Amino acid sequence: MTRSHTPSMRPTHTPDHCFALVTETYAPQINGVANTLGRLCRGLLHRHHAVQLIRPAQAGEKPGLIDDGALHQHLVSGLPIPGYPELQWGLPANRYLSRLWQEQRPEAVYLATEGPLGWSALRTARRLRIPVISGFHTNFQQYSDHYGLGLMREPMMRYLRWFHNQTRLTLTASSTQQRELLRLGLHNLALLGRGVDCELFHPAHRDPALRHQWGAEPGDLVLLHVGRLAAEKNLGLLINSWNTLRREAEQRHQSLHLVVVGDGPQAPELRQQLPGAVFMGALTGQPLAAAYASADLFVFPSLTETFGNVVTEAMASGLAVNAFDTAAAHQHIRDRYSGCLAPIAHEQVFIDNLRWLIRDSEGRRSVRLHARHRACQLDWSAIVERFEGYLLQAAQPAADQTAAVGK
């Protein structure tokens, strides 16, 4: 199956290099990994490289090739991930990848996920002596406790450690993640980071009509949560925080509103436990940008993020972020200056910080201004350039790499 799409993807000259990106998830799926891979892929294309994107076929697609100029999407067979039916595990594709990479050899391979497809890509690339680097995009080892699979945590960690230590380099999203992975026995780690689109996510997209739709009058405060509604996101703290602070606000005759953007297996339960909240479902693009900008505070209780793109999106939108001191929040927020940070797992501090943001209008205003300023320093082009550099370094012959290190 060969199809052609957007003409803008077609190269106007011979691509400089060819790289393969292997991932179990990609747009239009809505999650941080798909968003990041889309940015990296488009960035490589704009920097005049050819990309082989190897991923499972999604709903309505069939395995095969989607050829779009410099972007060659190779769709393989997959199966739904237990607990995440909208996501796919890519099935092992050793024969397909072996044939593809012998005919069209990439200069380096990037493995974004560690499922059966990633495992087969790692084996095939190593057998063909194609340089491989990987990214640690999802803390699967932390998810096991939330799905009654605590006994699987250690075997899963052993596999992840083996998988990533087989690659030349493992790219991390944040400094806190890098330190944690080093402690868990992963080697050859390098920081990639994440960017944010400060034109899309902008305070100018604030929409009074949308706030009115939420029931918010001028002067009311809107608390926003954006993310997957799943067990590993620590949403019990969102419920506890809201119930506590809403009651306090009512006693002071202050109007608070809670808006939840996202979908997932815990959505029905959350709707029951947060009867006064507004649930918007999953949003992307301009509707998502408007939701961010039309709120006032961002409540993010997750402790399992590798980065947390929603944190920097909220900051870019001019929101005061309340989060734990990890991942993106640790890297880009100064406590009570450009957001609020609670020590990891200190839930009372998390609630106290949110209480301060609600009650202190001047402090909140200052935090929102500094948050936007910090987010505007996080340019995706710098992240793509760094990613390109890691791929080019991996593609160098071993002797050239040794010489480069010695300089």
| pLDDT of res. 68 | 86
How high does pLDDT run on average in the chain?
A: 90
DSSP secondary structure, 195-211, as one string? ---TTTS-GGG--HHHH
Considering the domain architecture, whether residues 190 and 233 belong to the same structural domain is answered as no
Q: Which residues of 173-205 are buried (b: 16+ CB within 10 A; e: fewer)?
A: bbebbbebbeeeebeebbebbbbbbbeebbbeb
Residues in Cβ contact with 172 at an 8 Å cutoff, skipping those fewer than 6 apart: 135, 136, 178, 181, 189, 190, 191, 192, 306
CA distances from 213 to 165, 210, 217, 285, 297 (A): 51, 5, 10, 19, 18
Considering the domain architecture, whether residues 276 and 173 belong to the same structural domain is answered as no
Considering the domain architecture, whether residues 302 and 360 belong to the same structural domain is answered as yes
- Digit-coded pLDDT (tens) for 80-120: 776 666 666 799 999 999 999 999 999 999 999 999 999 99
- Digit-coded pLDDT (tens) for 178-235: 999 999 999 999 999 999 999 999 999 999 999 999 999 999 999 999 999 998 999 9
Instruction: Give the predicted TM-score (pTM) of the model.
Output: 0.88
Considering the domain architecture, whether residues 253 and 312 belong to the same structural domain is answered as yes
Answer whether residue 2 is part of any domain. no
| pLDDT of res. 85 | 64
Report the CATH number at residue 110: 3.40.50.2000
- Digit-coded pLDDT (tens) for 168-194: 999 999 998 999 999 999 999 999 999
Instruction: List phi, psi (to 5°) of 52.
Output: -95, 110
- Digit-coded pLDDT (tens) for 327-374: 999 999 999 999 999 999 999 999 999 999 999 999 999 999 999 999
- For residue 367, what are the domain limits? 203-375
Residue 14 pLDDT > 90: no
Considering the domain architecture, whether residues 170 and 90 belong to the same structural domain is answered as yes
Residue 6 pLDDT > 70: no
- Digit-coded pLDDT (tens) for 242-286: 999 999 999 999 999 999 999 999 999 999 999 999 999 999 999
Q: Which residues of 81-96 are buried (b: 16+ CB within 10 A; e: fewer)?
A: eeebeebbbbbbbeeb
